[in-house]
Amino acid sequence: MELEPDADLDEMVLCERYGISRTPVRETFRRLAGEGYIDIRENRGARVIPMNHSTLRNFFLVAPMIYAAIGRLAVQNFTKRQLSALRDTQELFRAATVTDDAPAMVLENNRFHEIMGEMSQNVYLRPSLGRLLIDHARIGHTFFRPRNADMRERLNRAVKHHDGFIEAIGAHDEDAVVDLVFEHWELSRENMEMFIAPQGLKAVDFH
My answer on whether 39 and 131 are in the same domain is no
Torsion of CA 53, 54, 59, 61, to 10 degrees: 110
Q: How far apart are CA 76 and CA 79, in angstroms?
A: 9
pLDDT score at 203: 45
Q: Is residue 98 part of a domain?
A: yes
Q: Is residue 1 part of a domain?
A: no
pLDDT score at 143: 53
Contact yes or no for 193/95 (Cβ under 8 A): no
pLDDT score at 144: 55
My answer on whether 163 and 86 are in the same domain is yes
Smallest CA-to-CA distance from 76 within 114, 119, 111 is with 119
Domain count, the chain: 2
CATH number of the domain to which 16 belongs? 1.10.10.10
My answer on whether 76 and 31 are in the same domain is no
My answer on whether 91 and 175 are in the same domain is yes
My answer on whether 42 and 77 are in the same domain is no
Per-run averaged pLDDT (10 residues), the chain, 207 residues? 82 92 92 86 85 80 94 98 98 94 88 97 94 80 61 90 98 97 89 58 46
Note down the domain range covering 113: 53-195
Q: How far apart are CA 140 and CA 158, in angstroms?
A: 12
CATH number of the domain to which 143 belongs? 1.20.120.530
- 65-103 pLDDT, tens digit per residue, is 999 999 999 999 999 999 999 999 999 999 999 998 888
My answer on whether 20 and 68 are in the same domain is no
pLDDT score at 91: 98
My answer on whether 27 and 82 are in the same domain is no
Q: How far apart are CA 149 and CA 139, in angstroms?
A: 20
pLDDT score at 140: 65
- 22-44 pLDDT, tens digit per residue, is 999 999 999 988 877 888 988 78
